[in-house]
Structure 1
Amino acid sequence: MSEPRRLSIGIRDSTFGDDCVVAECVNVYEATFGDRCFVGPFVEVQNDVVCGTNVRIQSHTLVCEGMRIGDDVFIGHGVMTANSRYPQAGAAEWACEPPVVGDRVSIGSNATILPGVTIGDDAVIGSGAVVSRDVAAGTIVVGTNRVLEKPERA
C-alpha cells in the first residue's frame, strides 16, 4: 500500500475586495470576491467563481466552478451547486454549465442548484429547494421548482 497524495485546505490564487471575512477550514481556488464578502467554515469555492459585493456564503456550502454570483446575495448553510449535466469519472473533457445567481438573491439552507440554471434578481430560493430550471426575477421557489406568487414590491 502507498500513501495518497494529500491536498491541503486553504485559499489559492484568489482575490478579495475590502472588508472580506473568510473562516478557517475552507477551500477557495482561483476565485474573485468583491467588497464585504463572508465565507463560512467548511465551504468550497472552486475555480473561476466570481462573487459581487456583500455576498454571504454560510458553512458547508459548495460553489461550483465557473459560477457567477451577483451583489447582495445570501447563500445558506449546506447549499450544493452543480455544473455538469453528465459527469463522468476520469473524463478528460466535460461541458461546464455553471449556475448564475443575480443580485439580491437569497438561497435557503440545503437548496440544490443544478447546472445551467439562471436565478434572476430579487428571487428567493426556499430551504431544501431543488432548482432545475431558470427562476424569473422576483420569484419565490420552494420544493422542486414550485413557484409561489411573485411578492409585491414597494
Structure 2
Amino acid sequence: MNDPQRVKVGVRDVEFGAGVKIVEPCNLYECKIGDNCFIGPFTEIQKGVSIGPRTRVQSHAFVCELVTMGEDCFIGHGVMFINDTFATGGPARGRHELWRETKIGNRVSIGSNATIMPVQIADDVVIGAGSVVTGDITTAGTYAGNPARRLASRR
C-alpha cells in the first residue's frame, strides 16, 4: 500500500499589512494582504493574489491566482473565484497561459456562494448571494442572478 503525498494547510510567504486578523485553519501562500484585513477560516488565497486594505474575506472562500481586490471590499462565505475558463473545452491542466485575471474595484461586496469568473468589476458594486458573474461590470450598482444582471444603480 502506498502512502499519499501530504501537503499541510498553512500560511507561508505572505506579505501582511498592519492589523491583519486571520482565523485558522486557512491556506494562504505567496500573496499580499493589506492593512486591517480579516481572513476567515477555511479560506484559500493563492500565489500572486493582492487584497487591498480593510477587506474582509469570510469563511470557505477560494481566491485563485490572478485575482486583485481593491480596498474596503467584502467577500462573503463560500465565494469562488475562477481563473480557468476551460477555453480549450476542458481544464487548462497546468497551462497558465490559458488562465485569465480578475480585478475587483474598491468598496465591492460579494454575497455568499457567488462565483466570479475572470472579469473586471468597477468600484461600488454589490453582487447578490449565489450570483454567477460571467462578464465585466463597468457601472456601480447591484447585480444578481445567473448570469448576474444589473438590478439597481448605486447612488
TM over 0.5: yes
Contact 2:112–2:130 (8 Å) recurs in 1: yes
Could you tell me whether the CA contact under 8 Å between 1:84 and 1:98 is conserved in 2?
A: no
Contact 1:16 1:33 survives alignment (8 Å) = yes
Deviation at 1:66, TM superposition (A): 1.6
* Structure 1 match to 2:132: 130
Question: Which consecutive segments of 4 or more residues in structure 1 shift more than 4 A?
Answer: none
Q: How far apart, in 1, do the equivalents of 2:133 and 2:93 lie?
A: 27
Task: Give ranges in structure 1 of 5+ residues lacking alignment.
Answer: none
Answer whether contact 1:104 1:123 (CA < 8 A) is retained.
yes
Q: CA RMSD in A?
A: 1.3
Listed as ranges, the matches of 1:18-97 within 5 Å are 18-86=18-86, 87-88=90-91, 90-97=93-100
What percentage of residue pairs aligned between the two structures are identical? 45
Deviation by residue 1:87-142 (Cα, 9 ceiling, x = unmatched): 53644554221211000000000100012x01100000000000000112312111
Deviations 1:11-58 (A, max 9, x none): 111111000001111000100011000100000001100011001000
TM-score (norm 1): 0.93
Could you tell me the TM-score, scaled by structure 2's length?
0.92
| Alignment check: 8 A CA contact 1:64 1:98 kept | no
Give the aligned length. 151
Residues 93/130 of structure 1: CA separation in 2 closer, same or farther (3 Å cut):
closer
